[in-house]
Structure 1
Amino acid sequence: MSSLYRTNDAFESTHNIAIGMRLAKCRNVITIGFKPNFSDYSDGDAKLIQNADKIFYPTAFYADIFEAMGKKIFPSLNTYAFVQDKIRQSAMFNMHGIPHPFTKVFYGNNQKKKIMDFFNLPFIAKNPRGSSMGRGVYLILCQNDLKEYLTSNAGPAYIQQYCPHDKDIRVVVIGKKVVLAYWRIIKGMDFRANISCGGDISFNDLPGEALSLALKTAIKCQWDDVGIDLVEHKGQFMVIEANMKYGKKGFIKAGINYHNLLENLIAKGDI
């Protein structure tokens, strides 16, 4: 058998098929693996894919192809469409009326010269696409900081209101359920709360309004496997961004076996 992760029992007892590796350790899923040339799949694996009613983690490459074929996929096509694209995420938040820090995107040198017309220092500047784990996020304190950001970032300038805080909240939604939530507490002199940047995790006194807003955001945006980051500013929670490639350290600290969680969600038909 050519599939990457398959036992005889799994092959006989399940028709749950995955392309990406996220479910490779799940016993109730056959993970076939990604091949950009469909002709490179064995005849057996090709038939499994073609005959499957639903494909888990189809990868960004195959997600829209399977959708066009009428196959169900998980995560949703929308989830793939907004991965690491802060510009489109902000547009979606604004269209849905989801509370979100004031954000503007500036294209070209003429527009970028007007950034200070819309924002007072300090503010946040981000690499608008492809960044995660706190990378590509800058606190702009002065004109020189802005100049350095614009010099290093040749693409659109993604500028966002700075909401001073000592912690933010990460809420993970899978299917249509909140499966994990925790505070990310800033440590040291860093302005970022990301765990990858040294932030601490706390599960104490998580506000229900933040969890409700995160779940509402995920459902409205049709993102069914996502980490939603929120910050409290002037008594109101706001969604900062969505992370489809979220880390697992929160699950580990909470004592949640991530792969067992996914197995159970699949077995119950929740995803």
Structure 2
Amino acid sequence: MRLVSFNPYRSLGLPGVRYIKPELALRHKDEVKAADWALFPESWQVNFLAYGLKVPIFPNLSTFHLGYDKVEMTRAFWAVAPEHFPHTLILPSNENAIGQVLDELSFPMVGKEIRNSMGRGTFLLQNRRELIDYAARNPVLYLQEYLPIDRDLRVVYVGDRVVSAYWRIAGEGQFLTNVAQGGRLCFEAIPPEALQLVERIARALEINHAGFDLALVEGHFYFLEFNPMFGNEGLARSGVPLAEIIWEYLLTHTSRPPVAPGRPPLARAI
């Protein structure tokens, strides 16, 4: 199986990977086009790889197209599981929109930048002044009801199954649960119904590589978002053999027969 990767960190442990710097992909067009899979491209590469070179990519198109933008992601959640998504407003940033927000949501509320991750670009808005300041910085308003939680559940889905799940607990007095923002991990008391919900939604949306974040409020699960390029700290601590899982998935979904067995080292960077 011929593999090219545009991200050496996320391809660690996969056999026979040829690493190509993303900005050099078209310089090595023939090599990329001949690959069975192009792994972990940058978002700006996805369309020319899939539609121009017609090389299979991992993560797949659905994962990139829905995971790249919170607006697209939210509309997909509304389509398949609206009862599992917090009340959310997506509006142009203007005076009329501010009025609608104040009519439909109460303070505190959560404002997000539509293209950001790891807790960056997520704000707890406590009053009208903070709302107006947020609106001045964002041409699209993405505002959600505030859910009274001190933790969320990260469920990691890779290939065609859930591979790990853990709670992310906010630090004392903190709003964000992301590990990058000081959250801590807990692997105990993982509710099986949450895992079943993620499996159902991931399959419905044809997602094959994502960390789904859920909130539990009064016995009901709400999706907060999913991140196609999730952090690996939780997987490493739980001993999940991520490279093996990805390799098995690629083998079973490739259109070409696999090469002879062996695990050659990663190729050098170009």
TM-score range, shorter chain: 0.7 to 0.9
Counterpart in the other structure of 2:102: 116
Which SS does the other structure have where 1:245 is aligned? coil
Q: Are the equivalent residues in 1 in contact too, given 2:63–2:228 (CA < 8 A)?
A: yes
Q: Are the equivalent residues in 2 in contact too, given 1:18–1:29 (CA < 8 A)?
A: no
CA distance 1:234–1:263, change in 2 (3 Å): same
Q: Kindly indicate whether residue 88 of structure 2 is the aligned counterpart of residue 103 of structure 1.
A: yes
Task: State which of 121, 125, 131 in structure 1 corresponds to 2:111.
Answer: 125
Report the AA paired with residue 51 of structure 1: A
Sequence identity percentage: 25
Q: Deviations over 1:75-121 (max 9, x none)?
A: 11111112341111111111113410010112031333211011112
- Tell me the distance in 1 between the aligned counterparts of 2:96 and 2:174: 29
Which SS does the other structure have where 1:21 is aligned? coil
- Tell me the distance in 1 between the aligned counterparts of 2:81 and 2:26: 45
Report the AA paired with residue 102 of structure 2: M
- Tell me the distance in 2 between the aligned counterparts of 1:39 and 1:209: 44
Q: Are the equivalent residues in 1 in contact too, given 2:3–2:37 (CA < 8 A)?
A: yes
Q: Deviations over 1:2-30 (max 9, x none)?
A: xxxxxxxxxxxx42333333554234132
Q: Deviations over 1:112-143 (max 9, x none)?
A: 321101111221111122x1111111112222
Which fold has the larger relative contact order, with Cα–Cα distance below 8 Å and residues 6 or more apart in sequence?
2
Moved more, 89-98 or 258-267: 258-267
Report the AA paired with residue 85 of structure 1: D
Counterpart in the other structure of 2:147: 163
Alignment of 1:9-28 (within 5 A): 14-28=1-15
- Tell me the distance in 1 between the aligned counterparts of 2:25 and 2:175: 45
Which SS does the other structure have where 2:44 is aligned? helix
- Tell me the distance in 2 between the aligned counterparts of 1:87 and 1:39: 30
Counterpart in the other structure of 2:170: 186
Q: Are the equivalent residues in 1 in contact too, given 2:81–2:201 (CA < 8 A)?
A: no
The offset of 1:224, in angstroms, is: 0.7
The offset of 1:265, in angstroms, is: 4.3
- Tell me the distance in 2 between the aligned counterparts of 1:253 and 1:165: 24
Counterpart in the other structure of 2:261: none
Report the AA paired with residue 32 of structure 1: Y
Gaps of 5+ in 1: 1-13
CA distance 1:117–1:262, change in 2 (3 Å): same
Q: Normalising by structure 2, report the TM-score.
A: 0.83
The offset of 1:62, in angstroms, is: 3.5
Task: State which of 28, 34, 39 in structure 2 corresponds to 1:51.
Answer: 34
Q: Deviations over 1:49-75 (max 9, x none)?
A: 222343333433333333335433221
Task: State which of 24, 30, 47 in structure 1 corresponds to 2:17.
Answer: 30
Q: Are the equivalent residues in 2 in contact too, given 1:84–1:132 (CA < 8 A)?
A: no
Q: Normalising by structure 1, report the TM-score.
A: 0.83
CA distance 1:19–1:136, change in 2 (3 Å): closer
Gaps of 5+ in 2: 255-270
Which SS does the other structure have where 1:240 is aligned? strand
Task: State which of 160, 172, 182 in structure 2 corresponds to 1:176.
Answer: 160
CA distance 1:70–1:270, change in 2 (3 Å): closer
The offset of 1:197, in angstroms, is: 1.5
Counterpart in the other structure of 2:48: 65
Task: State which of 116, 120, 123 in structure 2 corresponds to 1:138.
Answer: 123
Counterpart in the other structure of 1:214: 198
CA distance 1:32–1:117, change in 2 (3 Å): same
Q: Deviations over 1:188-230 (max 9, x none)?
A: 1112211111111111110011111112222112211101000
The offset of 1:164, in angstroms, is: 0.4
Q: Are the equivalent residues in 1 in contact too, given 2:11–2:39 (CA < 8 A)?
A: no
Which SS does the other structure have where 1:120 is aligned? coil
Task: State which of 226, 243, 264 in structure 2 corresponds to 1:242.
Answer: 226
Alignment of 1:196-235 (within 5 A): 196-235=180-219
